[in-house]
């Protein structure tokens, strides 16, 4: 009973904190599977504000996987330079676009295991896409969530995917 009370209290406090502190990012309104998946790649290892700063211009210029696939990689790198890791990110976006256009007729595979065949896409991005894009109840941890769980619940071994 005490453990359940602790979980309930933590859940309540997190939801209360979110109500007063949530940020209004443009990707939270998108229902486009393309935008949701690409945004998760853009959000890797950078702060959300950086992605927010380029979001509208990026998706105006790169409106679908075809425009990414056909883009000159140096232009793509330049357009995402403010996020850091632009060479790596651009390669992931190009490889993902090629796979989706070539192997899946332009449709994003709904299986996270297929998405993970693209070098640079791992559990976090694929599961975030499944959660936010497909509204599937799944979980994924980033380093911030791992740190929070370790501090509050003190589990022996929390792996981040």
pLDDT digits (tens, 9 = 90+) for 55-69: 999 999 999 999 999
Q: Is residue 3 part of a domain?
A: no
How confident is the prediction for the chain on average, in pLDDT? Answer: 91
Specify the pLDDT at position 146.
82
Q: Is residue 9 part of a domain?
A: no
Instruction: Write the DSSP assignment of 94-150 as a string of letters.
Output: HHHHHHHHHHSTTPPPS-HHHHTTSTT--HHHHHHHHHHHH--------HHHHHHHH
Residue 83: CATH number of its domain: 1.10.340.30
Domain that holds residue 120: 32-134
Q: Is residue 152 part of a domain?
A: no
Q: Give 63's DSSP letter.
A: -
Q: Is residue 157 part of a domain?
A: no
159: left (phi over 0), alpha (psi -120 to 50) or beta: beta
- Residue 98 vs residue 156, higher pLDDT: 98
Q: Is residue 140 part of a domain?
A: no
Q: Is residue 41 part of a domain?
A: yes
Burial of 90 (0-12, 13-18, 19+ CB in 10 A): buried
Specify the pLDDT at position 38.
99
Q: What is the pLDDT of residues 34-92, one digit of tens each?
A: 999 999 999 999 999 999 999 999 999 999 999 999 999 999 999 999 999 999 999 99
Q: Is residue 102 part of a domain?
A: yes
**How far apart, in whole angstroms, are the C-alpha atoms of residue 94 and residue 38?**
11
Q: Give 57's DSSP letter.
A: H
**How far apart, in whole angstroms, are the C-alpha atoms of residue 118 and residue 111?**
13
Q: What tokens does 79 get?
A: 């357009």
0.75 surpassed by pTM: yes
Q: Is residue 82 part of a domain?
A: yes
- 4: confidence class by pLDDT, cuts 50, 70, 90: low
Number of domains in the chain: 1
């Amino acid at each position: 009973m005490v453990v359940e009370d602790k979980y309930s209290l933590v859940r309540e406090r997190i939801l209360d904190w979110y109500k007063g502190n949530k940020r209004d990012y443009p990707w939270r309104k998108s229902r486009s599977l393309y935008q949701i998946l690409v945004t998760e790649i853009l959000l890797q290892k950078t702060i959300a504000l950086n992605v927010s700063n380029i979001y509208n211009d990026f998706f105006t210029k790169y409106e679908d996987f075809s425009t990414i696939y056909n883009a000159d990689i140096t232009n793509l790198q330049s357009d995402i330079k403010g996020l850091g890791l632009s060479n790596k990110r651009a390669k992931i976006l190009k490889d993902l676009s090629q796979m989706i256009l070539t192997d899946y007729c332009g449709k994003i595979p709904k299986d996270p295991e297929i998405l993970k065949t693209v070098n640079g896409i791992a559990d976090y991005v694929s599961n975030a896409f499944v959660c936010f894009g497909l509204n599937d109840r799944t979980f994924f941890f980033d380093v911030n969530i791992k740190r929070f769980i370790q501090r509050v619940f003190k589990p022996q071994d929390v792996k981040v995917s």
